Amino acid sequence: MSIAGRSVSNPVLVNILTVVILVLGLFSYQRLPREQFAEVPFYFITIGVPYPGVAAEDVERSVTIPLEDEMANLDRLDRIRSRTREGFSSVTLEFDQAVSRREFDRLFQEVQNRFNRVSLPAGVQQETIQEFSSNDFLPVIELVLSGEAPYGELVETAEAFRDRLRSIRGVSRIELVGVRDREITVRLDQDLLEAYQVSLFEVVQALQQRNATVPGGVLTTGDREYLLRTVGAVRSVRELEDTVVRGPEGTGSHSLQLSSLGRVSEEYRREGTMARFNGKPAVSLRVTKLPRASSIGIIDAIHRRVASLEDALPADITLDYFSDQSVPINNSLDTLLSNALLGLVLVVLVLYAFLGLRNALMTALGIPLTLAMTFLVLDSLGETLNSNTLFGLVLVLGLIVDHAIVNVENSYRLQQQGLSRRDAAVAGTNQVILPVLAATATTVAAFLPLAFLPGVVGRFLRVVPITVSIALVASALEASVILPSHYADWPGREKAPRRRLITALQDRFEVLLRRLYRRRGITLTVIFLAMVAVFSQAGRVPLDLFASEEVSLFYIEIEMPPGSSLERTSRTTELFENRLLDSSRTDDIRAVSSSVGFSGGGRSGERRSNLAQISVELRTPQAGRTASLQTVMEDLQEETAHIAGPEVVVFREQPSGPPRDPPVSFRLFGDDLQALRQVAEQFRLHLEQYPELYNITDNFDRGTPEVRITVDHQAAARYGLSIQATGDFLRGVLEGVPAGSVFLGNRETDLRVRYNLPEDITLEEALQVQIAGPRERMIPFSSVASARVDQGISLIRRVDGTREVTVTAEARTTDRLGEINRDLDRLWQEEISPGFPGLSLTLEGRFAEILTIFLDILRVFLVGIFLIYAILGTQFRSYTQPFLILFSVPFAFVGVIVFLLISAVPLSSTVIYAGAALAGIAVNDSIVLLSFINERRSQGDSVADAVAGAARTRFRAILLTSLTTIGGLLPTALGLFGESPLWGPMAGTIVFGLLFSTVTALLVMPCLYGFFYDRRGGSRLA
């Protein structure tokens, strides 16, 4: 007994199974975490090593290069990037994107083991080794505490909120922004030190000896054991002040306590970052989430938890939310969901028009059943419900009823021929089950390889082909197992409305097909010439790497002249804030948040006193904003252009979707930093001649002024001083010397000892500070050292062991990117390279990136085509008939190009991706048609009669399957409930491609079949 026979014979089991699947699918749907996009693991590992107080070149030599050398031969390693600045080294390891999760975990462990083998200099602090994913791009939400309250009160309130929020399930980390490190500072009076002949390092040693707890082992007495500890840990600032620096034997009279030499205070370091919100001092709490945690669930939990804390908020502190990701997530999901529901309604209406109410409802039931099975599998695979997943479901919405349509339509046709409902259900299903399974296999063969597409875009869209493949397999199971029972068992009449209309359409179609078939040679020639004509216009389609969703957040990155203080940068940033809050776009601006001493966008989270970043959040279009983000940015850029002070000001929109290069981007490699600087400047000036380019920048760091101290070896030797001792002393004068840490108020706080010098001390005054020599002799620092001001290097970037500089530019239009790249290559080869033989150039940017993506998708597409050919060859047992079916693919691409030309949509990676997926959809109608032609020929019909009979028989099914797929995607393509720059073009690509492939199946395929198999019988089609 066939599967359909077993289904028809046991309707109770089938109905119970239907209910169970729907209930379990509903539970899985509710369990799936909500996101805007699927999480993308980038398989990057970042190693951060602090080395406080050390120049960038010294950190590069002693930390960065040894780390790069140790990691260089790791398995599956693609690239090593490093960023070295004063006091810090960051090395990023980028692995092959095809690596598996299990293998990456092994590589992560190997990186940790190799790091432990590296010999690093004394003075480096605790390293951090962490992986990088798309969750690190943007926090799910920011809580901003702002107001005129004292800074300490702002920080303490933010820390209290952090402690209460970090226990929320799914929260990975809560970062405090605008908080400087708290420390206990011992400020020593220089005159008192000189009077008592006490050095700064003697005070440090006394504090370290005082603030210690020493284990004493275990004392055993009889049948008891005691743990011994010598307790000396400091518990209060008062205890620090009572620390004995010298005993009576050292002073000659009485003990010398720390309080006699200076004062002890708990304070915040001047170094760090400052934050403001809408012009007021602020502290932000940036919340990031764990993988697979629900952003919507976390944000809702934060709102509930904060509501219970707001009553305890001080009166002079205001709480605001910033960059709330639930807004774009809900907007994106609502847009897709609304369009999907409208598509579902259109699908049901089409089914009703062609199949009648009973058959339409029976067929439409396959949609929730298929979706339920899909949610079950997605939940078990650990996926989330995001716009990628939803688009996959929208894409497959019309496809999942195709199998049911073919089944119901064929069973209904057999019932009209006299079979009973039960017999028609079994016979109709058995007759089409192989073509249905073949159609499913070919569509999955086109989609599923896309899940293995390499690169960031491939991983970003990976869940789309997985979702489609799961849904297609589920719909095939539903049509083969559940639908036959429902067809045989459901009550009601099968009379289809508007039958005369369908018959009239079939008659008109048959007349047209006869005319074309008789002149099939001319028909195919015209079709071929039309295809060539359309493909020749493909060069007019503009290029864009990734069409992203409209966002409501952009950044203003400010770079002041090298050496600018944090206070100066803050004053300039405040001018920008005031202008933004009083601009012509004030009504469009929701909030302005500033970070001084930090820049994130193009500088990957760099911290320096001459940098600042302003984040501007706009009102959403749903909240009344009518202007586009780009328009608002351009207006504000014009209104702030007059502000003096910054060397560089860059406006950047918040990235949406996978990370991508700017339109123009290239790298210069070499060891000579000055040569890199000169060539980068030459390229920047050359790019300014292109009016479509803006934000032309490079990442070469101009350096900060530094004071180079030269020790007089002879003079230092006379006083018994070494270069190391002299350098340590100077560091203690200006930065202070760490003396351990103190556990106060349930918090570990660093302890630092320094001279009580003015904050604005001059270089000449610093050189007059006296240094302690042997035998407690105090020596003026200027007696053993001299100083000169020079330009230092504050940041060094390296790629694969070589220093590099990247030049980038944004573009208002991408029409001439290829020409610009060729011009840059010519400039390098003919004018620049001969003068700088030690440098090399690598062109990147979106033009190169989209070419790489196109080649990757082409390889995957060819794999899919081969799989489709293998499946069709197996089904039809023919080498040539699969080629006839595959002719639908290039004709579908004609529809894609027509869509891009008439809609002015650029050719992006997502459009190419949709085009590759279209191959599996386009062949479905031709598969069923060719199967019926072969069946009629096996019954003795001539080629012409078999073609005519099969085409008329399958006309309704082909038209119906195409209309349901188009109906499911049409609302998304048109943006009836909100446009999507990301998903709309993908939907439009498939809609137009399917329109043309349907024409191929109904008109071109019969002519093509006759051209190959009917050399003499054309006249009989009359």
Under 8 Å between Cβ of 817 and 663: yes
Cβ-proximal residues to 717 (8 Å cutoff; 6+ apart), any chain: none
Q: How far apart are CA 207 and CA 960, in angstroms?
A: 85
Three-state DSSP class for 586? helix
Residue whose entry in the numeric block shows the structure tokens 């509710």: 30
**Domains, the chain, ordered by start:** 3-31+329-490+497-545+850-1013 (1.20.1640.10), 40-134 (3.30.70.1430), 550-655 (3.30.70.1430)
The 3-state secondary structure of 628-644 reads CHHHHHHHHHHHCCCCC
pLDDT recorded at residue 547: 62
Q: How far apart are CA 253 and CA 230, in angstroms?
A: 28
Buried b vs exposed e over 791-829: b needs ≥16 C-beta within 10 Å? ebbbbbbbbeeebbbbbbbbbeebebbeebbeebeebbe
Cβ-proximal residues to 693 (8 Å cutoff; 6+ apart), any chain: 663, 664, 687, 809, 810, 811, 812, 820
Nearest-CA neighbor of 1000 among 885, 896, 921? Answer: 885
> For residues 825, 826, 828 and 833, what is the CA-based torsion angle, rounded to 10 degrees?
130
Copy the structure tokens of residue 225.
């054991």
pLDDT recorded at residue 320: 92
Nearest-CA neighbor of 393 among 477, 442, 464, 292? Answer: 464
Nearest-CA neighbor of 12 among 482, 491, 367? Answer: 482
Under 8 Å between Cβ of 772 and 201: yes
Residue whose entry in the numeric block shows the structure tokens 């202007």: 627
Copy the structure tokens of residue 773.
């020599």
User: What is the chain's percent helix, strand, coil content, to nearest 5?
Assistant: 55, 20, 25
Q: How far apart are CA 153 and CA 159, in angstroms?
A: 10
pLDDT recorded at residue 114: 93
pLDDT, tens digit, for every residue of 564-613?
Answer: 888 899 999 999 999 999 888 888 999 999 999 887 654 446 777 888 99
Query: If 0-12 CB within 10 Å is exposed, 13-18 middle and 19+ buried, where does residue 838 land?
Result: exposed
Q: How far apart are CA 281 and CA 150, in angstroms?
A: 9
pLDDT recorded at residue 603: 43
Low-confidence ranges of the chain (pLDDT < 50): 496-497, 602-604, 1017-1022
Under 8 Å between Cβ of 287 and 297: no
In this structure, the number of other CB atoms found within 10 A of the CB of residue 176 comes to: 18
In this structure, the number of other CB atoms found within 10 A of the CB of residue 235 comes to: 12
Copy the structure tokens of residue 212.
């210690």
